[in-house]
């Protein structure tokens, strides 16, 4: 988060991506662990480790999401999935 602090737009996008990751991990862990309090603790720890120690992982996730959303038609044209 600290490397992109100079650009407010990228900083806001990183905050949104972080919140998205937190909510996604929380919803998964709530179903997997069964306890909402334990799920919050788990989501906070994983989000902290992901965002502050390895912030590039957030952007890799965003890139993979955009690629899977908008790049599906491209991969169908080049027949990547067919052997």
- pLDDT at 40 (0 to 100): 92
Q: What token pair was written down for 55?
A: 């912030």
Cβ atoms < 10 Å from Cβ of 4 = 15
Give the single-character DSSP code of 52: I
Please give the Cα distance from 78 to 3 (Å, whole number). Answer: 36
Domain count, the chain: 1
Question: Would you write out the chain's pLDDT as a tens digit for each of its 83 residues?
Answer: 455 456 788 788 888 888 888 888 898 889 888 888 999 999 999 888 888 888 788 778 778 777 877 777 776 676 655 65
Whose structure tokens read 């919140």?
Answer: 19
Cα distance between the two ends of the chain: 41
pTM: 0.62
Q: Is residue 83 part of a domain?
A: no
- pLDDT at 3 (0 to 100): 52
Q: Is residue 1 part of a domain?
A: no
Q: Is residue 2 part of a domain?
A: no
């Amino acid at each position: 988060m600290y490397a992109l602090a100079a650009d407010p737009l990228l900083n806001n996008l990183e905050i949104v991506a972080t919140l998205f990751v937190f909510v996604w991990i929380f919803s998964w862990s709530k179903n997997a662990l069964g306890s909402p309090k334990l799920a919050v603790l788990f989501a906070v720890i994983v989000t902290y480790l992901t965002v502050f120690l390895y912030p590039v992982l957030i952007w890799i996730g965003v890139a993979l999401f955009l690629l899977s959303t908008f790049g599906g038609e491209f991969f169908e044209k080049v027949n990547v999935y067919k052997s």
